[in-house]
Amino acid sequence: MDDAMTTADDLGVAMDIADRCDAITFGHFTDRSFSVAHKHDNTEVTDADREAERTARELLARARPDDSILGEEEAEVVGDRRRRWVIDPIDGTSGFARGIPIWATLIALEVDDEPAVAVISAPALGRRWWATTAMGTRARGPDGSERRCAVSQVNDLADAQVSVTVNDGWAELGRSHALWELMLTARRSRALGDFWQHCLVAEGALDVAVDAVGLQPYDVAAPRLIVTAAGGHLSDVDGVATHRSPTAISTNGVLHDEVLRRLSAPLP
């Protein structure tokens, strides 16, 4: 089986996982049939998170029994170290628990430590995004139509649409002031949060997305490929192209250096 066929098959597995997880998470979301607990870091977890991740792991155990798996809610499964599935069963659990529809299942396959396949499925929004390194990024909207995604060509921050997620981590980095200045410089600044802001960068609807501090690989692996396969760039606040950093900034690529420069500016 050649590499292209393998990637197509892996994407098929990821889409199947997304379908199965959507059925679980959307059902719980619509009928509010879940309980909420708090983990050691005080973040929320629900029955839906656990059931969706368990289902994803069971499917992978059948379809890709030799592969490694990293998920948010259960211990890592170490198998083939060249191939690791990275799963966030519900990105945006806090909003999910409160009835806010901005949440999604994030699925990525790393090959040799780099994302090669990604699917982000947000059933409450009626949207899904998927990407491979060769195919690029595609999206499906509420009407069922599909289209190829491409980042914007906006080249001036004063014309840019920006999404910023502010949390205490930015203050701990000493960059809250720089973040505020970035927001004020942009044409429009919003706080859309989590996966969605990065997907909107990939679609060209946003030009810059700055995530919260304190991220894990399962928060960033899928968005990283979704953005880069659409022609954009995702890095940490120091400019390293990675999904293993506690920070993540995505842009259309044109604005990336300026955004990093502004976020590293010293306090006045």
Q: In Å, how far are 30, 87, 109, 226 from 113, measured between CA atoms?
A: 36, 15, 9, 16
What pLDDT, on the 0 to 100 scale, is given for residue 1?
42
User: What sign results for the dihedral spanned by CA atoms 147, 220, 178, 265?
Assistant: negative
* Phi, psi dihedral angles at 152 (to 5 degrees): -75, 170
Q: Give CA torsion, residues 66, 244, 45, 228, to 10 deg.
A: -90
Query: Nearest to residue 195, comparing CAs of 85, 96, 261, 55?
Result: 96
CB 233 within 8 A of CB 227: yes
Question: Which domains does the chain show, CATH number per domain?
Answer: 3-143 (3.30.540.10), 157-263 (3.40.190.80)
pLDDT tens-place values along the chain, 268 residues long: 455 559 999 999 999 999 999 999 999 999 998 888 888 877 889 999 999 999 999 999 999 999 999 999 988 889 888 999 999 999 999 999 999 999 999 999 999 999 999 999 999 999 999 999 999 999 999 999 999 999 999 999 999 999 999 999 999 999 999 999 999 999 999 999 899 999 999 999 999 999 999 999 999 999 999 999 999 999 999 999 999 999 999 999 999 999 999 998 766 5
pLDDT score recorded for residue 76: 86
Contact in structure between 226 and 197 (CB atoms under 8 Å): no
Residues 6+ apart with CB under 8 A from 97: 34, 36, 44, 46
Q: How far apart are CA 150 and CA 153, in angstroms?
A: 9
Structure tokens given for 100? 């806010």
pLDDT of residue 21: 98
